[in-house]
Amino acid sequence: MVVGNVELPLMPAVAGIRWGGAAAGIKRPGRKDVAVMEIAAGSSVAAVYTLNAFCAAPVVVAKRHGAVTAPRYLLINSGNANAGTGEPGMRAAEASCAAVAAVMGCKAEEVLPFSTGVIGELLPVAKIEAVLPQARESLTADGWADAARSIMTTDTVPKGATRQIVVQGKTITINGISKGSGMICPNMATMLGYVATDAGVDQALLQQLMTQAANRSFNCITVDGDTSTNDACVLVATNKAGVSFNSASDVGYAEFAAAVIEVCQVLAQAIIRDGEGATKYITVDVRGGVNEAECRQVAYTIAHSPLVKTAFFASDPNWGRILAAVGRAGVEGLDVSKIDIYLEDVSIVRGGGRDPGYTEEAGQKVMKEAEITICVELARGGAEAQIWTTDFSYDYVKINAEYRS
């Protein structure tokens, strides 16, 4: 089930971007599982990738191609991750880029490949190659919604976000789509995410913004603590809106950057709301840390705890599990006598022990809600961090037990 509202919005065209797609039958016949993004010449492209040492072949190839040329096409497939496939997987990723180049009339190095799905199986390049002419014919500026559906795996809903702002009298559009539902603990970005704007942005500045946006959004979510082999997020600026940014101090840039970050946050939170088997959307808000890093350390320890997550699924206010997670987070010099913990506005721990005014009835009332905030006050400094996560349900186990069937 989806927790809360995850509706795919009506997404306006972004000048300089076209999407096409086709059904290659990679995993299931008849379902669109190949998407192609066409990027106008003269665009800037920034990306962040997984830090998993077993990064997939398409990640290696995408990083290699992106370092030597300006990308003109992105090729995305679902149903097969092409990860853990060794040198044959590398050749398959390169071959898929060459196939796009032959159909679209560009260089193979101008294609960045992305794959998502089952690990350990070689990419069926022939199936993808066979439908690329169809993908080319379907290229349209209005293809965002179809692309969002094409990149889904265990997602139950497509995920998208859009914002428009006016800078210097010109309208700037920002669109984004993402996929992700399980194996979610990005260590750079999201599982797969694509954001594009018609603003012009200097390449170095765009890369800085992509990293900043990832750290404020996709690097703040976790379903299960597993960082995928295939995580990637791409930010494209086509320079078609008549507004360009060369420096962070340029007029309107702060507003523009905030809009890009907001799009990424909506996408990241949609992934959590659609987490595999999720019945609860949980915000872990840690405040009063010496620095943001230790606040994140505490937040992630809570968010990754199977005992905490299963208690939330059961709507059981077993606050001792939260307390224990804070204590084992590894924060040096932590004074537990100063720690306060809240479920929404219900104080459960005061000064390191059970709040004298706390009642099980008050905790139970909060735990029955679908959206819950855990707030931890460390009383060590002025830093804070937020992490978004889910509970663990029976369905999470079932989905992942049957993932390859």
> From CA 344, how far away is CA 105, in angstroms rounded?
56
Give the largest CA-CA distance in the chain: 71
pTM for this one?
Answer: 0.94
Q: Where do you find CATH 3.60.70.12 in the chain?
A: 17-273
Q: How far apart are CA 170 and CA 166, in angstroms?
A: 5
Which ranges of 274-382 would DSSP assign to H, the alpha helix? Answer: 292-304, 306-313, 319-327, 360-367
Domain with residues 281-401, CATH architecture: Roll (3.10)
Residue span(s) of the chain under CATH 3.10.20.340 come to 281-401
- Residue that has been written with the tokens 């010449």 in this structure: 41
Look at residue 225 in the predicted model and tell me its pLDDT: 86
Tokens of 202: 């200097």
Contact 391, 282 (CB under 8 A): yes
Cβ-based neighbours of 140, under 8 Å, separated by 6 or more: 18, 19, 20
202-213 burial, b at 16+ Cβ within 10 Å, e below that, comes to beebbbebbbeb
Given 50, 154, 190, 227, which residue is catalytic? 190
Has 190 been annotated as catalytic? Answer: yes
Fold of the 17-273 domain: L-amino peptidase D-ALA esterase/amidase (3.60.70)
Please answer whether residues 239 and 199 qualify as being in contact, where contact means their C-beta atoms are separated by less than 8 angstroms: yes
pLDDT averages per 10-residue partition of the chain, 405 residues: 90 98 93 97 97 94 97 97 97 98 98 95 98 98 97 93 97 97 77 96 98 95 89 97 98 98 97 93 98 97 96 96 97 97 98 96 97 98 97 90 76
Q: What is the pLDDT of residue 280?
A: 97
Give the pLDDT score at 189: 61
391 DSSP 8-state letter: -
